[in-house]
Amino acid sequence: MELHESRRQRYYEKLENLDLNYSLAQKGLKNLSKENSLKLEIYGVLHAIQLTIERITDISAMFMKDQGKIVKNTYDNLNEIYLHGMLTNTSKNSLFNLVGLRNRIAHDYNGLDEDLALNSFKENIDSVSKFINGVKKWIGKS
């Protein structure tokens, strides 16, 4: 399916915002130290992580719409991206983990274990760059 130039530009804007928040999350993770980190700094990193994952959610929904498919929940949308060959199964599953992490950060279910949340992002961080590359490659072909 051929993308209109304005739609392609919208993808690039979303990807730019995704890349900004992804970079902030990565830098924040490197700069946090257990002893000296303020609660505000930890919350800032968690917010950058949340926004990173929300941009992935946005782009996934855009992809579904542009494929002429019904936009579903993020897990189903990411699965469609996987089926389209833009992600490996491992990356898809890592992104599923990040979507769950985003929900825990956003809704603070029964309190948030910050160390567990930060480590979960670290464990699944590579899937974000793989998602970005997959989308860029797809945009280039559309």
Question: What are 48's two structure tokens?
Answer: 């950058």
Across the range 5-31, mean pLDDT stands at 96
Across the range 20-32, mean pLDDT stands at 95
76-122: pLDDT as tens digits:
999 999 999 999 999 999 999 999 999 999 998 778 999 999 999 99
Cβ-contact 18, 132 below 8 angstroms: yes
Q: Where are the beta strands (DSSP E) in 37-131?
A: none
Among residues 65, 47, 53, the alpha carbon closest in space to that of 128 is found at 53
Question: What are 45's two structure tokens?
Answer: 């990193």
Question: What are 129's two structure tokens?
Answer: 């760059």
Q: What percentage of the chain exceeds 70 in pLDDT?
A: 97
Q: How far is it, in rounded angstroms, from Cα 140 to Cα 142? A: 6
Predicted confidence at residue 108, as pLDDT, reads 84
For the whole model, what pTM was predicted? Answer: 0.93
Predicted confidence at residue 7, as pLDDT, reads 96
Cβ-contact 54, 22 below 8 angstroms: no
Is pLDDT at 34 greater than 80 in this prediction? no
pLDDT-derived band at 55 (thresholds 50, 70, 90) equals very high
pLDDT-derived band at 130 (thresholds 50, 70, 90) equals very high
Query: Where do the domains of the chain lie?
Result: 5-141
Specify whether domain 5-141 bears CATH 3.10.290.10: no
Q: How far is it, in rounded angstroms, from Cα 88 to Cα 50? A: 22
Predicted confidence at residue 45, as pLDDT, reads 96
Distances (CA, A) of 74 to 14, 32, 46, 89: 16, 30, 20, 15
Is pLDDT at 64 greater than 90 in this prediction? yes
Compute CA 78 distance to the chain's CA centroid, rounded to the nearest angstrom: 10
Residue entry with tokens 């469609």: 80
Predicted confidence at residue 1, as pLDDT, reads 65
Enclosing H/E stretch for 74: helix 74-83
